[in-house]
Amino acid sequence: MVHLAILLISPPFFLGVIAKTKATFAGRKGPPLLQMYYDLFRLCRKGTVYSRSTSVVLRLAPGMVCATLLMAGLFLPLSWPAPIHFSGDLIFFAYVLAFGRFLLLLSALDVGSSFAGMGASREATFGALSELAFFMGLVTLAVITRSVSFSGIFLWGGTHPMVRPAIVLLFLSFFLILLTENARVPIDDPNTHLELTMIHEAMLLDVGGPDLGLMLYGAAIKLFLFMVITVSCVWPPTGGFGLPEIGGFFAKMIGMAVVIGVVESSNSRLRLSKVPQLLVANFVITTLALLATILGGT
């Protein structure tokens, strides 16, 4: 229940933290930490405009995208074992996320706009390429911990040496995947106003009102999920359940959000043609991590 509550309520908060960090770096005051919540409430009270080109797909997609992301969230251990865990749940996780992406792509193509098509095309390409590194990372984790479940992987009993080379490489790799999957700065700029350069935003250009609210909320959950995975690599959940654990969880998540903010502030976005190279480089990093694991012994 607490898991579900955290999953449902907290994700937009971390976007606030990232925005605050970036504002601090830029010497601005920045929006309040809870700005995202205000935005979501405002959007939910609005009506909407649908393009005449759209079909039923666009009307169903926002709800389903959120459902797939929430589903994925049930597999990740926050600080205690996840509500749903079974052998092979990481495959389910990956495929549910892919399902969400598929629905997002369809809803983008449904409006028949060139901008949405561009965004969808880029999302599909980068998604496929980051799948390489993501699964290689999962294999490495599975080999290190002899488990095929997130709860098994991240709760391997506290005997985990945090500064193993493989783990450091994996952290780096999952961090890059996080930036890619969530359209953060070196890949895509969430604050851009030029349609031609957008990825994620371009897909949402023709989505409005509560639909947009759900899509943004979904994006916040997705960021939350990848933050959990990334942070769990270096600071694995303890497995216990109680107030200190919840506090610890929030502390490390806020830390992660600050790191994202710092990286976003100190980098400019890459040229689109460079992004695949970054993703392949990321795949090489995970391969090195796997080699380090296998050759280094467990």
User: Under the criterion CB under 8 A, does residue 288 sit at the interface with other proteins?
Assistant: no
Give min distance, CB of 232 to other proteins, in A: 18
Least CB distance to other proteins at residue 86 (A): 4
| Contacts (CB under 8 A) with other proteins, residues 157-196 | 195
Comparing CB distances to other proteins, the nearer of 27 and 88 is 88
Scanning 155-199, the segments in alpha helix (DSSP H) are: 165-181
- Give the residue among 196, 168, 258, 184 at the shortest CA–CA distance from 220: 184
Site for other proteins contains 67 (CB under 8 A): yes
Residues 123-142 that bind other proteins (CB under 8 A): 124-125, 127-132, 134-136, 139, 142
Residue 60 CB coordination number (10 Å)? 13
Q: Is 267 in the site for other proteins (CB under 8 A)?
A: no
**According to the binding rule CB under 8 A, does residue 105 interact with other proteins?**
yes
Q: Which is nearer to other proteins, 63 or 248 (CB)?
A: 63
> Residues 156, 164: contact at Cβ < 8 Å?
no
Q: Is 47 in the site for other proteins (CB under 8 A)?
A: yes
Closest approach, Cβ 13 to other proteins, in A, equals: 21
Burial group, residue 146, by CB count within 10 angstroms (0-12, 13-18, 19+): exposed
What dihedral angle (degrees, nearest 10) is formed by the CA atoms of 114, 67, 224, 174? Answer: -70
Site string for other proteins, 213-252 (x = CB under 8 A): xx--------------------------------------
- Cα distances from 12 to residues 19, 105, 217, in angstroms, run 11, 22, 7
CB of 267 to other proteins, least distance (A): 21
Which of 25, 37, 115, 250 forms a contact with other proteins (CB under 8 A)?
115
- Are the beta carbons of 188 and 143 closer than 8 angstroms? no
In the numeric block, the tokens 């957008």 are attached to 198
